[in-house]
């Protein structure tokens, strides 16, 4: 699996698929970026997210990008969601763009969301706090109840 992730990370640009967490431990959080090339909010989020990623490079966060730019990238987004066990989040927000949903990697539980209103430092802090919640809180109690997270479609 690690080889596949690393190969995929090399094939896609930093916003075109996924970025493997390079640490020794398994990721604690998955940061799922809902992106589209035509999304004006994404143009604001992109540089902030990239700097926040660099600022938190050693943190146990796996960054995934679900690209909704066109039918081909929607197909790839479905594959990324399936391969990384974020299907419920995909189903809740598919087509919504310009936000990053932070999930507990062990349970898929939604923790928080970040968007264009966040600075580099506040986005990086959100990543750090999400990891801290996974490490210190019981599953089922990690959701921050963030007003930043839009109401998603209910599970069928």
- Residue that the structure tokens 């069928």 belong to: 156
Residue 90 neighbours by CB under 8 Å, 6+ apart? 32, 66, 77, 78, 81
What is the pLDDT at residue 24?
56
pLDDT tops 80 at residue 103? yes
Q: Which residue has the higher pLDDT, 153 or 82?
A: 82
Predicted TM-score (pTM) above 0.75: yes
Helical residues (DSSP H) of the chain, grouped into ranges: 2-11, 40-55, 71-83, 87-93, 120-136
For residue range 12-38, list pLDDT tens digits in order: 333 445 454 555 578 999 999 999 999
Question: What distance in Å separates the CA atoms of residue 1 and residue 41, rounded to the nearest whole number?
Answer: 32
CA distances from 54 to 61, 105, 120, 130, 137 (A): 12, 20, 10, 17, 26
What is the pLDDT at residue 152?
81
3-class state of residue 92 by DSSP: helix
What is the pLDDT at residue 98?
96
* First CA to last CA distance, the chain: 30
Instruction: Say which CATH architecture domain 2-136 belongs to.
Output: 3-Layer(aba) Sandwich (3.40)
Q: Which phi and psi angles does 122 have, rounded to 5°?
A: -70, -30
| Region 53-78 average pLDDT | 96
- Residue that the structure tokens 């923790």 belong to: 111
Task: Name the band, by pLDDT with cuts 50, 70 and 90, for residue 89.
Answer: very high
Task: Name the band, by pLDDT with cuts 50, 70 and 90, for residue 60.
Answer: very high
CA distances from 15 to 19, 136, 138, 140, 155 (A): 9, 30, 31, 30, 27
For residue range 106-135, list pLDDT tens digits in order: 999 999 999 999 999 999 999 999 999 999
Domain ranges of the chain: 2-136
């Amino acid at each position: 699996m690690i080889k596949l992730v690393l190969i995929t990370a090399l094939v896609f640009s930093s916003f075109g698929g996924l970025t493997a967490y390079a640490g020794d431990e398994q990721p604690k959080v998955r940061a799922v970026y809902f992106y589209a090339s035509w999304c004006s909010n994404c143009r604001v989020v992109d540089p902030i997210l990239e700097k926040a990623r660099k600022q938190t490079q050693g943190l146990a966060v796996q960054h995934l990008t679900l690209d909704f730019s066109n039918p081909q990238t929607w197909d790839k987004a479905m594959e990324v969601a399936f391969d990384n066990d974020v299907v419920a989040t995909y189903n809740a927000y598919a087509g919504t763009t310009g936000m990053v949903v932070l999930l507990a990697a062990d349970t898929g539980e939604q923790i928080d969301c970040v968007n264009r209103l966040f600075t580099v430092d506040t986005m990086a802090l959100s990543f750090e706090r999400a990891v801290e919640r996974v490490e210190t809180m019981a599953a089922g109690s990690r959701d921050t109840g963030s007003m930043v997270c839009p109401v998603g479609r209910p599970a069928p």
